[in-house]
Structures are given as structure tokens and as C-alpha cells.
Chains A and B, each alone.
Chain A
Amino acid sequence: MKVSVGDVVLPGDYCEEISAAGEKSKVIVGPGLQKESNHVYVTKAGVLKKKNPNTYWVDYYQKRYTPARGENVIGIVIQKAGDIYRVDLGSSMSAALSYLSFEGATKKNRPNVQIGDVVYAKTLVGSKDMEPELVCVDSYGKKGRLGVLTDGFLFKCSINLIRKILNPSCPLLDSLKNEWPFELAAGMNGRIWIKAKTMRETIALGNAILGAEYLSDEEIKAMCANIASILAGHVA
């Protein structure tokens, strides 16, 4: 079926708008779209979106992660094998994280990472079918925010929710940060690590994040206020 931007689309639909735009200038075809002979076909069920000038993609609901290059992800170390750690990202394959891709690590000076630890890392190599490769340093060899995450709590959520809370226009984190202090790391693989002073605050934080998934901006603000009042004990 022929569809246009903003429609709910299903796999097999095609969009002539994209092909037409492609004749005039270069077009970026994002996730959920595939070029096949003379049409651009939809391969996922979702909403067709466009960003000016010429970027198209399908916004679809997904829980399973397909690795992509340059994304910040949270993984669990599951094995030490030779000179790499195996890290579970929730994708089809476990990822490889070299001993040497930590800040200040050398062959002699190995980082202290145990099996079962949670690492916040960046994907260096990531594609649908290949083993992803992770690093915990940037291109200058600095760790920045990456590395092992200690304490706190890790939970899973849909990938859409991650995108939603990381969106600069989303009021969730802005509202929460005024209520109580916390640390948070959001991995694009659908995992969120949170840490607050007390367990109750940590749970409240997780509650607020998970609860925000299907709420509008206004509702999110109301929910944050509600949770904060529960936390403060105003609501019996």
C-alpha cells in the first residue's frame, strides 16, 4: 500500500514520496526502511517519520536490541576469555570488550572487572549480524562517563522508552532532578542503571521512568510531582 509521512505503516508498504525526493537530492533512509529496485519499502510496523531535509525512518516499538555503531550501551560481563571480556547486551550475540579499552589499561595493568559487573560502554563495531565490539574509552583514551557501574540497580525496558527519556524535550529527567538527587545511565540497548541515596528513592526513580512510557509531557510532570509527594510522605 502507498503511504506517506506520518502514517501508521506495515511491512510491505512503500512510500513514493521518498523515491521522488531521492531523484532530486540525496536521501537518508533510516531504520525500518529498505530500498528495493524502484521503491522504498517499509520493513517494520510503526509510524513513518521525516526529519528535514531528507531523512526518513520508521518509529517502531521494540524491546530487542540490534547493535549499531557509536551507541552507549549497558552490558553485563559474563565471561573472561583470553584478552577480552564477553558482555551480554541483550542482542543476538554477546559483545567483545577488550582488556585494553579501559582508561590507563596496559598489558601489565589490567582493569579490575569481575564477572557479573555492569559496564557502560560505547559500541565501536555494531551491525545486525556481526559480533559487536565495545570500548570504555573515547578516541582520546579518556574514560569520560564510561566504565564499570557499581551499586545501584539495573532494569530493562523497551528501546522506545530509552529514546523517549533521552530526548532533550522530554520533561522526565528535568522534573525528577529537582525532586531528589540520583545517578542514571541509559543504554540504548534497553537497559537503565539507576542509583540514589536510599533504596526507596531508587525504586521511586525506576517507577517514574517505567511509568513515563505512555504518558504525555504534561502527565509526566504530574506523575513526577505525585511520586515526589509519595516519597516525601505527604500522601498517606
Chain B
Amino acid sequence: MRDVYISHCEKDFLQKIVTGGRRLDGRNYNESRKLNISFGSEYGSCIVSLGETKVLSQVSCEVVQPKQIRPNEGILFINLEITPIAGQQFEANRQTDLTVYLNRLLEKCYKDSKCIDLESLCIVVEEKVWSLRVDLKVLNHEGNLIECASIATLTSLAHFKRPDVTRSGDKVIIHTLAEKDPIPTVLYHYPVCLTFAIFNDLLISDPNFLEESVCMSNMDEGGNRGGILVVGMNQYKELCLLDLTGAAIDNSNIVHRALLVAADRCKELVDLVKSTIVDDDTARQKRVKKNFSDIITTEHMLSLNKKDLSICLKNYNVEDIQSPQDEEMEDEDVKPEPSKYDVVPSLPQTAEIVAQKGASTWIEISSGSEED
């Protein structure tokens, strides 16, 4: 993996803006980016996008021999891969620290929390069990991969249905989907991972790539100014996973605050995941054909004009912009008005502010204008 370089000016600006009570993309500290879940044609395949971070997930199953120590339990295997498609810093077919870290977190969150009823995956004790395999592919990395990946894992596991089996004597018959209705996976609880970035004493949920990178570099520079905190929690507000780095390690206050925020957000997320799965199921029962091509609608193609800009004012709204219908507005723009600041090109393709006389009075912003 190649390094991603963050310049001083990006770091300083972000640092300043966060301490100033705002965020680069106009969100509040506790606000997350827009979450979108769409399902593929098969059971257990979905694409989850959190802002511009996108993860594709697919669950598959096969019959295998169980492990010696757990003869009556099925097997769950989670595998996350990051390819160059996710960002130009990644290389193909290479395990990086990041992939190992993310895989470990997901395993902790979904295997060690025992959210899946593995015993129900058993077919014949000591001989045949179902092995569930979750394959995750990162399609785009814009920060907070772990949250996006964990939602993708949870959604595809909850959406997945395995074929039904019947035993007659020694024979085991696996029925196709046409013969018998498939069986959904049993989940005891729904854990989700959330990420918080720490700036000094401030907690920021769902950090984007730049916020994450600045936090990490603050942490590397030493001191307890930055750090990333990953919280795994289920809908009953039970903690399943806690991963602390940097400032979070020696500041329990921050962790407590993060947990309070996480509790509500996790509940919200799980409800959303459940309701989308129910919607999808009813649509499938009505034989509505579903697949990933549904994502590519006209609206989506036009949505290339991103609704979530990475740099955005708080009140900025794409829908506010309409082509000017009234001519008044056009006149205003076309007329070369005498501007307060004369910008003249001094060299080709450059411009320079020549006159900056007195304090400007027509933009009232400096008074720490917090809009609500």
C-alpha cells in the first residue's frame, strides 16, 4: 500500500475548522453521512454506501465437515478485500495492515459476539454442517470503512437464506429454491460497528477520509490529541466490541461519551437494516425482479452530481439551485457590476486582489455566525 500524503495546510485547516465547531462537509459532530442499502438478485448480496464509501457484500454457503472441537456448530467465515478499485493507494492481491485490522474487527464483532446461531447450521453432527462465507469487497474508500463494512456484513447475513435440507437415513437432500423455501439465518442480535474520530476533546462520528487521516497523523506525532475509537454495539445497547487507539486509551470520559452516542445510532441503524430487509422480502414475494442494475436509474446517473459534497456549507442544498427563470437575476449577473474588490489579471491565467480598502461590511460572518 502506498502512503497517502496529507499536507500541512489540509491538516491545519481541518484542525481549525473542527475546533471552530464545524465540519468540512457541513455536518454536525454527531451527524453521519447518508446511508444507502441496495440488494442484488441473490439472497445475501448487497451494496452499502455510506456517503461515498461503498462496500459490496455477498454471503455464500457450502456443506463442510465441522471442526473437531465444535462438532455440532456451523462455521462463519468473514473475508474483506481491498483492491485498487477502492483507491489508488491500494495494490492488488496484497494483504495490508488495514485489511488485517478490518478483518479482525469484523470477526470480533460477528463471530466472537455469537450473534449467529451456529448450531442451527448443523446438518449431521460431526459430519456435515453449513459453512457461511461473507465476502466483502471495498468499492470506494472515503473513510469509515469499518462502519460501512459492518453494516454490509450484517445486512447480507440477515438477508441471506440457505437451501433447506431433509435427512432420510444416511442420505441428505439439499433442496433447490424451487423445491422448498430457503431458510433465513438466525441472528440473536444485530451488532454494528461505529467509528469516532477524536480531536483533542471532541468526538466526531462517521469521520470521512481526511478527518480519519488527520486523526491518525495526530496520533503518530505523539501526544494524546488524536485517535480513532471503534464501538461495536447491538440494538439492545449491549457492547460487543471496543477498539481504542490514541487518545481514547487513557481518557475514559471520551469512551463514555462515545458509547452514549453509539447506543442511539446503533438502534437506528439496526432498525433501518431490518426494515429494508422486510421491504425487500415483500417485494420478492410479489416476484419483483431485483438486482444491482436497479441502482443505475436515471436519478442515480444524474446523482453523479454528488449530493454530498466533501466540502459543503451547512445550509447548502442542491435543490435550491434552479436555473434562473426571472430575467432580473440574469441581468444582475451579466452586468459587469463595479465590484468591491477589483480582480485583475496581472499574468495570464492568474488574478490578483488589488484593492482591499477598509473593512468589508456587506458580509456579516465574522461574528461566529452559527446558523441553526
Contact = CB atoms under 8 A, between A and B. Distances in A.
Interface stretch (A43-51, A98-106, A113-121): A113-121
A183 B366 CA distance: 19
A230 B353 contact: no
A152 B13 contact: yes
A32 B320 CA distance: 37
B284 interface: no
A154 B339 CA distance: 27
Contacts of A134: none
Interface string A68-82: 000010001010000
Contacts of B356: 181
Interface string A190-228: 000100001111111011001101111011011101110
Q: Which of A78, A114, A221 has the most CB of B within 10 A?
A: A221
Contacts of A72: 349
Interface in A33-64: 64
Contacts of A215: 305, 321
Q: Is the interface of A mostly helix, strand, loop or mixed?
A: mixed
A163 interface: no
B210 to A, nearest CB: 8
A222 B9 contact: no
Contacts, number: 145
Interface stretch (A5-13, A14-22, A23-31, A142-150): A142-150
Contacts of A88: 5
Contacts of A178: 337, 339
Nearest to A183: B353
A207 B351 contact: no
Interface string B330-367: 10110001010101000101110100100010111110
A1 interface: no
Contacts of B339: 177-178
Interface residues of B, number: 56
A183 B343 CA distance: 10
A106 B332 CA distance: 52
B53 to A, nearest CB: 16
A114 B321 contact: no
Contact of B321 (A150, A181, A198, A219): A219
Interface residue tally of chain A, by bracket? 35 or more
A222 B347 CA distance: 29
Contacts of B351: 173, 177, 184
Task: Count chain A CB atoms within 10 A of each CB in B321, B332, B343 and give the residue with the most.
Answer: B321
B238 interface: no
Contacts of A211: 305, 309, 316, 318, 321
A112 B360 CA distance: 34
B341 A177 contact: yes
A166 interface: yes
A198 B329 contact: no
A218 B9 contact: no
Interface in B7-37: 7-13, 16-17, 20, 22, 24, 26
Given A211-B305, A214-B302, A214-B304, 6 more contacts: A149-B9, A152-B13, A210-B311, A232-B364, A233-B365, A235-B315
